[in-house]
Structure 1
Amino acid sequence: MEKKVNPEIKEIFSHMPEVIYTQENLVAKRNEMYEMFAGIAGSLPINDAVLTSEKHIPGANGDPDVRIKIYEPRVKDEILPGVLYIHGGGYILGSADMMDPTLQQLVSEINCVIVSVDYRLAPEHPFPAPLEDCYAALNWFSENAEELGVDSTRIAVVGPSAGGGLTAAVSLLARDRKGPSIFFQMPLYPMIDDRNMTKSSNEITDERVWNKTKNQLAWKMYLGEIGEVSQYAAPARATDLSGLPPTYTCVGDLDPFRDETIDYVLRLTQAGVPTEFHLYPGCFHGFEEYFPAAEISQSIVIGYHTALKRALHK
């Protein structure tokens, strides 16, 4: 794989450590991740232009309350669009708190209000718990849009990796439950197919990045003991993609999710959903988070920020 890595990031990639997840070391790996992101956040200047708060909102019937974080401009001169943000982490890692600097910057760049969902994680809370938490947050956001200074007809759903899988699933669920209208969806390099039957899902085995082994383990934890896997658990299984929101997505060509993303884009387009897609050569899963200063990383971030801004402010 190393030979194929984009020349700009190849040297740094060669020094990346291997990361191996097991069910036994998962809690320790979560804590390592939280500490790393807390260190990054602590080294950055405070963004005084953005207000950050948190709430606990009602979950689905019988479920516990859902913690959300709200990011909004300190000064609002108009009714703004909204973004429901769903963090990544393979359905088993991550938290809303890790995304503070990223989402504060996004508020400033896009001029929007963001609600970020701190959904429950597998394996402690397998499907459908994470999805129901995200859908509850979408409902709450839509119902409380006016109070937040948000136009309820201009709410996008955005997320990378497993957050992209949940983005795609929330869009399907909102369509089928006749729930809140989603204006735009942006599932970035989404984790949407549990079957691991594509070439890309089997050819990426390097332990420095998200690979076949990690993917299989994460899907096993997320799906738990369910028998038949539904389209809401793995959106690549959906047979009807009509009526979904306009979509932007992207993926690197060294990402296990390359082929399932390309297939999803093809089928969205065939279903009449306006869709924009970008493939980044020599790039592995989540590369822009590892090497934010690299030109190729800035290119992908500018690409999806521009698409989101264009969609929400057109």
Structure 2
Amino acid sequence: MSFQVSGGTAIRGTIIATHGVGDSAASLADIATHFGDEFRIYLVDLLGHGHAPRLTDEQLEDPFAAVAAYFAQDLEQIITAAPGGLPVVLMGHSFGGSVAAYVAQHNPQLVDALVFEDPAILTAAQAQVYREDAANLAARMRKQGSDPAAAITELRPDYPAWSTAEYTGWAQAKALVDYRLVETGVVGTAASHMDEEDILPHLTMPTLLVTGDGADVLFDVPRLNQALSSPKVEGAIIRGASHTVRRDQPEAFFATVDAFLDRVLPHTPSTPGVSAFIREEYKLLTEALPPQDTWDIPIMRESARTRNQPYGFLPGISATEFAIKAGDVTVRQVARDELQRGEIAPELVFFSVHGGGYVGGKPEYDDVRHEALVQEFHPVVVVSPEYRLAPEHPYPAAVIDTVAALVDTVERFPDSPIITYGDSAGAGLLAQVFARLEDFAPEKSAKIRKQVNSFIAVEPCLDPAMNTASWETYAAGPAWFHRSSKISWAGYLSDSKPSFAELIPADKVLVPPTLVVVNPADPLRDEGIDWARRLIDNGVNTELHLFSGTVHGLATIPGTASWNSLLELIASFNRELA
């Protein structure tokens, strides 16, 4: 990938800008200048332009698809490298606008807003004109690239308002473009894919389309009015501007874009966790937390696998794994060896469901926590199901697997009270399990409800709406981000539309006595608090605790003050239920 990056650290979001055919990232410098104080700016060379690779023969068979696929990869890498959790804005001129539109339509989870500068989302007639003129356009660019000084001299009379930097960037790009791409005549979507009737109505994020009133604009008044019929699109015509709106009328262009961004993005600069009180024991851990790159799930899972090497249990404690009778679900059991061998029966069973945003995680990653539970509550076994993960297996696959594992646990330990325990997505999944026991285990649901003593819900991930105040305050983390959560929920729910009651049950008939624990510096904080309030009002025996100075994922690290407090709370809560 090839891009230029600039901007500060206390920022509103990330802007990723793309250029037209024959231009490059160098022609976008004023975007970095204008927005650099409030945004992290990435100016991208599209495939076949600037310092990006040239197109292969195979890619030239469908050049738009190749450029769009390459930009989609760039977008994922940039978001991974950019400050986590902040809004992402794509800006695109002409060809870059059509590429941005296409990629945003197919990857809506990555993009929060779009700004198009007379994008090459073409009608069939416009696409035909460009194809017919392709040879002439390529010849002109070759000539301009061979003599940049002469090209600038020739350009100035037609575009007198451009800055010196714009002339220089424009001319430099002509020497670096892949002329074979230009010769295809593909400068927008309709040439090989779709026209605007198929793309603009399907955009799901706020979109600004800025055009001019010059003779060469692609979106004249009738086409702009047609575009404005799309629910997410608003438009503006900059008087005295040609197809190169920003360079012709920079003040009017940036004023229009500023007003749009002020409406659709938070204006207060945000640095993850900048104002939150975090306990000293968690500060270094918070800074070292890995990125939650749910937009690239294979890499995220591999990173987790690499970090979570096999855990070395204390002598006398071990883990066993086995497949349960129903289905292909694997269960991991941690206990002292005499319980593993069946020499003594457990007095208590923890049924522990791991987190991971519904798209990651494994039971073995919680071995250190499960070992701590074994030490604290002996004689006890900890059972943890390896449920199917989204997006490969969307809702309710994980619910079905977890119910099956819970049925197996009740059958194997019929006389032992069960404490269900889940953190983050694990807590959300258990809530869903309690809502649907009668659906997926009708013959065993009564036995399960009788044997489950309590539900320990730590930093529960419950609500895909993500519209509480803490989601606004901690959209950029620490630890868990708005974008990561949005993508996870989209993959988990997929085309399913479960009811609010299925995702967040609060009926005392469904939910056992529940201990809710939330973190102060956590985007999930308020949905946990709101849920606890609903549980209380609906007659569920409920306790709610907030640990001082904790962040998402770090409140349950054995040896920390919050973990020790949690163990005491679990013990006292369940003693009162006995």
Tell me the TM-score range normalised by the shorter chain: 0.7 to 0.9
SS in structure 1 at match of 2:280: helix
Does the Cα contact within 8 Å between 1:189 and 1:261 map onto a contact in 2? Answer: yes
Does the Cα contact within 8 Å between 2:434 and 2:510 map onto a contact in 1? Answer: no
Shift of 1:118: 0.6
SS in structure 2 at match of 1:4: coil
Spell out, residue by residue over 1:151-194, the C-alpha distance to the aligned partner (whole angstroms, 9 max, x if none).
24x11110100001012222233377534122111111100111
Would you say 1:308 and 2:575 are equivalent positions?
no
Spell out, residue by residue over 1:104-153, the C-alpha distance to the aligned partner (whole angstroms, 9 max, x if none).
2211211111111111100001100011111000101101115xxxx24x
Shift of 1:13: 5.8
Residue 245 of structure 1 corresponds to which residue in structure 2? 512
Shift of 1:300: 2.0
Residue 471 of structure 2 corresponds to which residue in structure 1? 201
Q: Please, which moves more after superposition, 259-268 or 241-250?
A: 241-250
Listed as ranges, the gaps of 5+ residues in structure 2 are 1-272
| Letter of the 1:200 counterpart | S
Would you say 1:131 and 2:417 are equivalent positions?
no
SS in structure 2 at match of 1:135: helix
State how 1:205-220 maps to structure 2 within 5 Å. Answer: 205-206=475-476, 208-220=478-490
Does the Cα contact within 8 Å between 1:242 and 1:271 map onto a contact in 2? Answer: no
With over 3 angstroms needed to count, the CA separation of the structure-2 counterparts of 1:172 and 1:306, relative to structure 1, is: farther
Does the Cα contact within 8 Å between 1:186 and 1:249 map onto a contact in 2? Answer: yes
Aligned length: 292
Percent identity between the two aligned chains? 27
With over 3 angstroms needed to count, the CA separation of the structure-2 counterparts of 1:284 and 1:69, relative to structure 1, is: same
State how 1:1-314 maps to structure 2 within 5 Å. Answer: 1-9=273-281, 11-12=283-284, 15-16=287-288, 19-23=291-295, 25-38=296-309, 41=311, 44=312, 46-59=313-326, 64-75=327-338, 79-111=346-378, 112-146=380-414, 151-152=415-416, 154-174=417-437, 177=442, 178-179=445-446, 180-181=448-449, 182-206=452-476, 208-232=478-502, 234-235=503-504, 238=505, 240-288=507-555, 298-311=560-573, 314=578
Q: 2 CA distance for matches of 1:68 and 1:10? A: 31
Shift of 1:213: 1.3
Shift of 1:79: 4.4
| Letter of the 1:301 counterpart | W
SS in structure 2 at match of 1:34: helix
Q: TM-score, normalised by structure 1?
A: 0.84
Does the Cα contact within 8 Å between 1:19 and 1:208 map onto a contact in 2? Answer: no
Q: 1 CA distance for matches of 2:459 and 2:282? A: 20
Listed as ranges, the gaps of 5+ residues in structure 1 are none
Q: 2 CA distance for matches of 1:79 and 1:15? A: 39
Q: 2 CA distance for matches of 1:78 and 1:209? A: 39
Q: 1 CA distance for matches of 2:497 and 2:346? A: 45
Does the Cα contact within 8 Å between 1:171 and 1:185 map onto a contact in 2? Answer: no
Spell out, residue by residue over 1:85-116, the C-alpha distance to the aligned partner (whole angstroms, 9 max, x if none).
10000000101121222212211211111111
Residue 56 of structure 2 corresponds to which residue in structure 1? none
With over 3 angstroms needed to count, the CA separation of the structure-2 counterparts of 1:205 and 1:16, relative to structure 1, is: farther
| Letter of the 2:291 counterpart | V
| Letter of the 1:32 counterpart | S
User: Once superposed, what is the RMSD of the aligned Cα atoms?
Assistant: 2.5
With over 3 angstroms needed to count, the CA separation of the structure-2 counterparts of 1:266 and 1:69, relative to structure 1, is: same
Q: 2 CA distance for matches of 1:20 and 1:301? A: 23
Q: 2 CA distance for matches of 1:309 and 1:20? A: 32
Q: Please, which moves more after superposition, 239-248 or 112-121?
A: 239-248
Does the Cα contact within 8 Å between 2:506 and 2:535 map onto a contact in 1? Answer: no
Residue 234 of structure 2 corresponds to which residue in structure 1? none
| Letter of the 1:8 counterpart | E
| Letter of the 1:129 counterpart | A
Shift of 1:307: 2.8
Q: 2 CA distance for matches of 1:119 and 1:18? A: 23
Q: 2 CA distance for matches of 1:27 and 1:145? A: 36
